[in-house]
Amino acid sequence: MGTLEIKKELRHFIENSDDASIMKFYEIVKAYISQSKNDLSITSKDDLADEKIYDTKGKSLTKEQYIKHILSISNSIKKGANTNTTKEVKDFILNS
């Protein structure tokens, strides 16, 4: 599915959902965008071993920087960062 089709499907979802579902969807999207600003991506399993780790802006990170970032996320969660379980996200998507 291309981005045009995804945009149409999202538009259809929004136009045909009740207010509560739209608010939940909005919160999920906001949280995703906020988190993605700090997320990292690894292009393959071997990249971590080869220290080919990149942040969302394409900046190369060392293994140590990556581990520091993961620990930072872990500490944020321990301090009460707003998160959703996989089940909560799945239930929201399937029941909206």
pLDDT, one tens digit per residue, over 8-48 is 888 888 888 888 888 888 888 887 777 666 555 555 555 55
Alpha-carbon distance 47 to 52, whole Å?
5
Given a contact cutoff of 8 angstroms between Cβ atoms, the answer to whether 40 and 61 are in contact is yes
Q: Which residues pair with 55 in a beta bridge?
A: 40
Query: What global pTM score does this model have?
Result: 0.37
* Encoded tokens for 79: 């301090």
3-state helix vs strand vs coil in the chain, percent to 5: 65, 10, 25
Choose the weakest-confidence range: 2-6, 35-39, 52-56, 57-61. 35-39
